[in-house]
């Protein structure tokens, strides 16, 4: 059967990765979480003290980029392709608030984006891939057969993240999460290099009031149509 490329972009905490994983599992496609790659570089920068509360040693980070090796490995227990930074699984570490607070600053650096876009294009070269991020339909795979742009009300997105952290036993205030969501939206949409924008041929889905199950079925139908060569 014909394999396509599915690009899912949108604001943070709109559930992109959940639906991307569901689609990939159903279709037997590879799932690539491009945000995890920006987060892993942020973790690298934090560990080497290249970024902190009031500094970013941007030129030094750029010099050290060639020392960063990233790859994904499928974990059969979590049923997820987990990210490895220089051989170590950092899938959990990259989800901390410390990384979330800094990642947009790292993702603004053109040299970082260039390195990751090349790697992402390599991962998707054989099609049969579902990739989620901010610039997948606009920059990484401008020819993707199916492009989705996901949005949801910012308060609702912060609430989802808050409940996720609570479920993991992490005590983080709703206010700080809301602030982080708003700040990331701002940096992601206003940065000079590859800002978050809806590709002209992307289908916009606002899931403020849609449950995950319904959303999955909407996207699956769109994917099936594209695989069959039907453009709706």
By beta-carbon proximity to ligand DC, the closer residue of 2 and 186 is 186
Minimum distance of ligand DC from residue 229's CB (angstroms): 27
Residues that bind ligand DC (CB under 6 A): 12, 34-35, 38-39, 103-104, 107, 133-136, 184, 188
- Cα–Cα distance, 198 to 83 (Å, whole number): 26
Minimum distance of ligand DC from residue 232's CB (angstroms): 26
By beta-carbon proximity to ligand DC, the closer residue of 78 and 232 is 78
By beta-carbon proximity to ligand DC, the closer residue of 106 and 219 is 106
By beta-carbon proximity to ligand DC, the closer residue of 107 and 177 is 107
Element (H, E) at 41: helix 34-47
Of 198, 187, 105, 111, the residue nearest 149 (C-alpha): 198
Minimum distance of ligand DC from residue 135's CB (angstroms): 5
Minimum distance of ligand DC from residue 119's CB (angstroms): 11
- Using CA atoms, how far residue 230 sits from 29, 91, 171, 227, in Å, is 19, 37, 47, 7
- Cα–Cα distance, 117 to 136 (Å, whole number): 9
Minimum distance of ligand DC from residue 228's CB (angstroms): 28
**What would the two tokens of residue 48 be?**
């080497």
CA torsion sign, 76 to 77 to 79 to 84? negative
Helix, strand, coil % over all residues of the chain, rounded to 5: 50, 20, 30
- Cα–Cα distance, 151 to 223 (Å, whole number): 19
By beta-carbon proximity to ligand DC, the closer residue of 163 and 231 is 163
By beta-carbon proximity to ligand DC, the closer residue of 2 and 170 is 170
By beta-carbon proximity to ligand DC, the closer residue of 2 and 47 is 47
**What would the two tokens of residue 220 be?**
């699956």
Minimum distance of ligand DC from residue 188's CB (angstroms): 5
**What would the two tokens of residue 67 be?**
């020392």
Contact (Cβ atoms closer than 8 angstroms) between residue 28 and residue 225 = no
Minimum distance of ligand DC from residue 231's CB (angstroms): 24
| Strand-pair category, 129-133 with 30-33 | parallel
């Amino acid at each position: 059967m014909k394999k396509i490329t599915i690009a899912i972009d949108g604001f943070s905490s709109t559930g992109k990765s959940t639906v991307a994983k569901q689609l990939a599992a159903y279709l037997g496609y590879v799932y690539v979480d491009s945000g995890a790659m920006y987060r892993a570089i942020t973790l690298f920068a934090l560990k080497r003290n290249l970024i902190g509360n009031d500094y970013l040693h941007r030129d030094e980070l750029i010099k050290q980029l060639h020392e960063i090796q990233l790859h994904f490995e499928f974990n059969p227990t979590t049923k997820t392709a987990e990210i490895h930074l220089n051989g170590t699984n950092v899938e959990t570490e990259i989800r901390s608030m410390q990384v979330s607070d800094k990642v947009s600053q790292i993702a603004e650096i053109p040299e970082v984006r260039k390195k990751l876009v090349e790697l992402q294009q390599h991962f998707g070269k054989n099609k049969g891939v579902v990739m989620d991020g901010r610039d997948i339909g606009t920059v990484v795979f401008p020819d993707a057969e199916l492009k989705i742009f996901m949005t949801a009300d910012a308060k609702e997105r912060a609430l989802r993240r808050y409940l996720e952290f609570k479920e993991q036993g992490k005590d983080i205030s709703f206010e700080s999460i809301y602030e982080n969501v708003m700040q990331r939206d701002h940096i992601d949409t206003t940065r000079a290099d590859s800002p978050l924008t809806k590709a002209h041929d992307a289908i916009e889905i606002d899931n403020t009031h849609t449950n995950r199950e319904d959303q999955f079925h909407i996207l699956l139908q769109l994917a099936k149509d594209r695989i069959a060569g039907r453009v709706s």
